[in-house]
Amino acid sequence: MSSSSSNQMWGGRFADAPDAIMEAINASIGFDKRLAAQDIAGSRAHAAMLAAQGIVTDSDASAIREGLLTVLSEIEGGTFQFSTALEDIHMNVEARLKEVIGDPAGRLHTGRSRNDQVATDFRLWVRDQLDAADAGLTALMRALVAQAEAGADWVMPGFTHLQTAQPVTWGHHMLAYVEMFGRDRDRVRDARKRMNESPLGAAALAGTGFPIDRHMTAEALGFDRPMANSLDAVSARDFALEFLSVASISAMHLSRLAEELVIWSSAQFRFVTLSDKFSTGSSIMPQKKNPDAAELIRAKIGRIFGANVALMMVMKGLPLAYSKDMQEDKEQVFDAADNWLLALAAMEGMAGDMKANVPALESAAAHGFSTATDLADWLVRETGLPFRDAHHVTGTLVARAEAKGCDLPDLTLEEMKAVHEAIDETVFDVLGVHNSVASRTSFGGTAPARVREQVASWKEALA
């Protein structure tokens, strides 16, 4: 459509066509066309309410609602011609609706503004993304629970500072991420509940004199209630910021797991093998199998963090109510949502397909003096040493093993007695990695029995 068509949409306030530069900076249709389905859903609900309240005739409302479905089918079918001269998705839809049904289209905007219209569309879109993230997190958690169930007994090294600390079970490690992603899902659900209020009917900023029924449109669109303050309704974007915050925390968890998969799949660790579906080769080194999906997840997380900061900066200095700055909210949220949902799906695929190298895990668990804490605990229990003294004795034994080039279980009983005479042969019962993990039976511990309990609990919760 021409610029003159845009002027007709605006009415008589502006006589001249906008400069091309102004049109380019002002237009948002290049990205907000993603709101088409939400925009049309909101307009159909608004039209039905206008008829129910006697503000427009039933025949006009029916024509509007049917015409909007025609427009939606054109958009979804790829035949709709978007116009930058019409600025945004709302004006594009309304202009096409007028071409389809004629004069009744002009009655659709009664009792509302583009300010409450876009706020409604955006809330609906973000709500859809939260639902998709909920599903993605649930699927990922199920994949990790399946890994935990398979490897409840598999022993691997637990790390602090990426240094060998104590043996843990594979299942315990997998369940740590289930807990993290479970909290992410709780945040998603909490955010959805808080943002599920309708701005529609707040109009430009002050409400409207038409006898509209905001509760009717809120219910029709699946909102819990209309927003209680018209100024807040059109100017609030904390729902989008909360979405980005939730996405950022979840993305951080995804990145931590991605980093571990990169490390674990290396030739130096050989803890896991990722499937060919989530790996690539090298153009020059035929032996390479690169964990590219994990690396790309790790990198894309920065875009989500960046979107969160960017929208904070957009909103931080805005007076009430609406300012054009707020047009910059959508691209950030769209990009973050795309990357978050993609990362969730990719991680679910990798978690489901990866194969643990159980012998390599157990071998690594038995190195690095991983049972030193078990030895110190044994000294406390069996000899009555204060823990700090037991810690010192164990450190001396570690130094002797290190000098000898062996691990703690490889020291002879005589070598141990030379450090502390109360040590006897039962000490070897705690020095094996399987004995170590089996002894960690405290609630939340790594013992296979505890892992199986948690697996059962999560399977029920995720059913």
364 versus 289: the higher-pLDDT residue is 364
Residues 6+ apart with CB under 8 A from 270: 357, 360
Residues 6+ apart with CB under 8 A from 305: 248, 251
Per-chain mean pLDDT for the chain: 90
Per-residue confidence (pLDDT) for residue 272, from 0 to 100: 93
pLDDT at 172 over 50: yes
Per-residue confidence (pLDDT) for residue 99, from 0 to 100: 95
50 versus 403: the higher-pLDDT residue is 50
The domains of the chain, with CATH numbers, are 20-107 (1.10.275.10), 114-210+225-363 (1.20.200.10), 369-462 (1.10.40.30)
Lowest mean pLDDT among 96-105, 303-312, 314-323, 407-416: 407-416
How large a percentage of the chain has pLDDT more than 90?
66
Q: What is the DSSP letter of 254?
A: H
Which residues does the annotation mark as catalytic?
161, 282
Query: For residue range 121-157, what is the model confidence (pLDDT) as tens digits?
Result: 999 999 999 999 999 999 999 999 999 999 999 999 9
- How far CA 186 is from CA of 131, 134, 181, in Å, comes to 12, 9, 9
Round to whole Å and give the CA distance between 28 and 19.
Answer: 16
For the full predicted model, state whether its pTM sits above 0.85.
Answer: yes
How large a percentage of the chain has pLDDT more than 70?
92
Query: For residue range 325-346, what is the model confidence (pLDDT) as tens digits?
Result: 888 889 899 999 999 999 999 9
34 versus 196: the higher-pLDDT residue is 196
Q: Are 205 and 115 in contact (CB under 8 A)?
A: yes
pLDDT at 382 over 90: no
pLDDT at 381 over 50: yes
Round to whole Å and give the CA distance between 21 and 442.
Answer: 67
Per-residue confidence (pLDDT) for residue 117, from 0 to 100: 94
19 versus 431: the higher-pLDDT residue is 431
pLDDT at 377 over 90: no
State whether the Cα torsion 310-311-313-314 is positive or negative.
positive
Lowest mean pLDDT among 98-107, 250-259, 362-371, 451-460: 362-371
For residues 104-125, give the mean pLDDT. Answer: 95
Per-residue confidence (pLDDT) for residue 245, from 0 to 100: 97
For residues 165-194, give the mean pLDDT. Answer: 96
Q: Is 163 helix (H, G, I), strand (E, B) or coil?
A: strand
Per-residue confidence (pLDDT) for residue 433, from 0 to 100: 87
Q: Is 188 helix (H, G, I), strand (E, B) or coil?
A: helix
409 versus 452: the higher-pLDDT residue is 452
170 versus 408: the higher-pLDDT residue is 170
pLDDT at 282 over 60: no
For residues 15-30, give the mean pLDDT. Answer: 67
Query: For residue range 152-162, what is the model confidence (pLDDT) as tens digits?
Result: 999 999 888 88
Per-residue confidence (pLDDT) for residue 237, from 0 to 100: 95
